[in-house]
Every structure is written in structure tokens, then in C-alpha cells.
Structure 1
Amino acid sequence: MAGAWRGEEGPERHPRPPLPSNQGLLPALRTGGEVAEPAPGPGPVEQVARIHAPGELPVGTSGSNREQRWDMLGPKTRERLEAQAGTTLAWWAKLDADEFVEAFVFGPLGACRAASVVREGKRVYLVERLRFEPDALEHRSLRSDPVGRKPSKASRLFRPRRPAGGGPPPARPAVVADLGLNVRDSGVLGNLPAEVQEFLQRPFLGDDQGVVAQWYYDEGIEAMGRVLRVVFALMGDRDVTFATGRRTLPRGASPDRARWELDYYHAPVKRPRTTP
């Protein structure tokens, strides 16, 4: 995947105190899947995404947020990120292990990252872009209300239809595929609704591409309750998926009463042209 990035750099430096963030930056190869239901006979076996249980978020309410970190980037770096991504669909800014700002911007033109590097003894920002195929971005949205919410597609995969003549429903063969995400990444992903989890993982099923999880969230208290803002991305050699939005938990309500407002996307990565 590194070979598909394109970059440029700028001389801006902004060290700040550390901000908790994800550490799962290395590609994680998929492990074997487990059988969800046995196949009754010969025929294709469908792969379905693993729907993860919600994990405890690594940090709670933070005094700093992505807007503050974004402002720590110099204006030239911010302009390059926005120009190379196109229309900004999702973004975040945080501090890396060296306490320099790292920022991601996702748009219809690609996934862009600004990271601090050393060039000829000077600290500069490198702006990279993972290009998307033109006009290939797939977009869905979710505005959920816990009252009367419909079951997700992922849950419906394991609900076979009864035959017209009665009798037990036929077994439907399916294998649950695991992307090999670490516990921290899968726990953050597990906080998203099941249909969003399924959408984000689907392009990587049945493939050997390594998948990297990147994410950001912050929490705060507003008049109507506790608000979680989250961006979660999965990045592979041929596909990128990402979701952005917020969860509102009304005051005094249990987590299953939370309301979600999410937009989520899939884009194929533009492959470099090969010469015969």
C-alpha cells in the first residue's frame, strides 16, 4: 500500500502534549474464518463479516479534540490536505508517538495523511495521498432511532426463510471471516451499529490484502446527553472504507437507547498503470 501514496512536505513543526490514539498501525492479515452454519451439500459458501462486540473505549472525555489539533497544523499543510482529498468527507487530527500532529482527511479524490518527518536534519510535514478510482465512491447513511429499529443486514444473513410447504428452514452456509484486527481496533469498531460494521469490512472478505485500522473519537457532554464523535477507517491495498458521525446517549439512558447519525463510504484504490 505504501507504493500507492503520493506525497509532498512543508516546514511546519508543532509539538504538543500526547493525545491517546490507536496503536494498530501495522497491517493485520486475515486469519481463517469459523463456520457460522454448516453447508447442507455442495455449493458456494458465503463469507460474512464478523460483527464485533463493543469494547471499552481507551479514553473517556478529553480536554483536547481534533479541532484543536487541526489548528496546530500550519495553514499550508491544511490547504494541501484539503486540496488533495477534494471535498472533505471525514477527518481527524491527533498527536503521534513523538508528540507531533498527524492528520487524516478523506474525500472523493483519496485518503490523505500529514505526518511529521525529518528531512536533511529538519522537521517537516509530509503530505501523502492514497488515490481513489474516479467516480467510484459508494456512500450510505444511517440515522437510527432505537424505537422500532429494523434488524441489520448482518443479522438477517442468519435468519433463513421457511419453505412454502412448512417444515424446518433450510440451513444456509456461511463462513464468518476475520480481518485479523487487534483487540483495541475491533473493540472500537464494535461500538458502531452492526450494519455499518458489515459495510466497512465487506470489501476485504475473501481477499489476502492486509488491512490497517485507523480511528479517532472524542466524547463530550451536551445539553441532551453524552455525545461520541467517531471516525473509523479500514485501509487495504485495493480498498478503503470509512465511517464518520456521532452517537448521542440521552441523559439517564442505557447504551441501547443511543441515537446514531453516521455516513459511511467505500472507495477502490486507484492502481498504478503498468507498461507492457
Structure 2
Amino acid sequence: MTIAAPILHDPRLLRAQIRGGGFDGPTAGHGGDALQANLVILRGSDAADFLRFCQSNPRPCPLLAVGEPGDPALPTLGDGIDLRHDLPRYRIWRDGELVAEPTDIADLWQDDMVSFALGCSFSFEDALTRAGIPVRHQDAGRNVPMYRTSLPTRPAGRFGGPVVVSMRAMPAADVIEAVQICARMPLAHGAPIHLGDPSRIGIADIHAPDYGDAPDIRDGDIPVFWACGVTPQAAIASARPALAITHAPGHMLVTDIPADRAEMRLTGVYL
């Protein structure tokens, strides 16, 4: 059962509430202007190929940080982060199959695990809201709708598969400004990769997302699609590693980093 909670703007307080079992819902709209992150955790034998996959696909997989083997902390993203406890919901994958969605992974942690934090589109939603652009899933208290597409990623080793996108419907008059805002934030997936007709990217029914909740699309809206950090989950299903752990779609790691840092292009994988 998802635990409802008031909007928390302090990322440290939000992580504390998550760790204490007081919040297990989607993090859209929470954490104020803090950068949010997708999560992938793999055994050391799979980590090098996945790192190359991220480097080959920076739009859906913008790297924010890579953890040290066996260390559940990501100190460059926040003081005291512990990836075993600090996401509201996780996904457990065995041989490419989703087998569980727990709220804590301490019992699964192993000494060779390597963590990857990837940028998240929730990080630009605060900027859209400040510009007066509606973020309809937040207004409705829903998770963002996400879809598998016919667009391929660039494979690396065992990892490949389709690009997953998130979608936000908005009035046509707001689209150009939304593109301009997000283009300045490459660590939050940057500008949209598609506007308009969903069938052009292989989405048969926009009202039936593969992940998240059904969209709120109103008369005069245009659907706008961004590359999404759930893309690695499609790659994990294809690669079939013995064990992988990810965030549950929409249930992100909320960092201590201001979201405007997503406007910076980095030379390395650390902020």
C-alpha cells in the first residue's frame, strides 16, 4: 500500500521519512528543487558493460554518479545517503525477470555491488512549474506515464533494447518554452526527443502506459516525450543478469544537489 505524505521540500527530511517507512510513493513534486535520480545496482561482473551502455546512451542514461564496489553511499550526491534504504520503492530483477518490489534492499546487498545514479526528468518539473507550465500528473497526484518505444538504444556488451520515454501533455502554447527550459538540463534528460503523434515512436495507445499512471490529456494539449531513466530496466530485461536492483518507476533517489546543476555538462561522471 502506498503511504501518502505531505509534500516535503527538504531532501534530507524526505530521505529520513522514506528510511523510516513513512513514505513509499512516487517522488514527483517532493524534495523541492533537488536533483532526483534513477538507480541501477549490478554485480561487479556486469558493471563495466552497463557503464559503457550509459556512456553510449546519454539521453536516457545521463550519469550523475557511480558508486564504489560494495559501498551503498553516494557522497557526491548527498550526505548520509544509503542506497539500501533511501528510495521509497525498489525493483528486484533475477535473470531479467521482475520478481519483487520491496521498500528496502539491505538483505540483498552484496560486497561487489556497483551503484549507478542516473538523471531523472522529475528534476526539471519544478522549473516547468515556475514557468507556469502545467505538470498534470503532479496536479492529479499521479505517477508520470512512461512508454516503451520502437526507438533502439545503442547496445554495449549484453545491454541493449528500446528507449523508454516519459510523457507530459501540455498546451501547444507552452511547448516551445518547455523545450527551451529542458534543453538547458542535460543531466535531467535534456530536451524532449519527440512531440505529437505517439505512433511515430511505436506507442500504440497513449492512454495505456507501460509504466506509471494513465495520462491526463486535455483538449488543445500536445503530448511531449522525454528519454526516460527506466530505459535501463528494459536493457536489464534483455541482458538477463543474474541479479539487478533498480528503483521502481517514479520512486526516485532524491539528492541534496540543486536541480540547476543539471544544467551543467560535466567531463566526468561525478557532480
TM bin, normalised by shorter chain, reads under 0.3
Please tell me whether Structure 1 or Structure 2 has the larger radius of gyration of its CA atoms: 1
TM-score (norm 1): 0.25
Q: Which has the higher contact order (CA 8 A, sep 6+)?
A: 2
Per the normalisation by structure 2, the TM-score is: 0.25
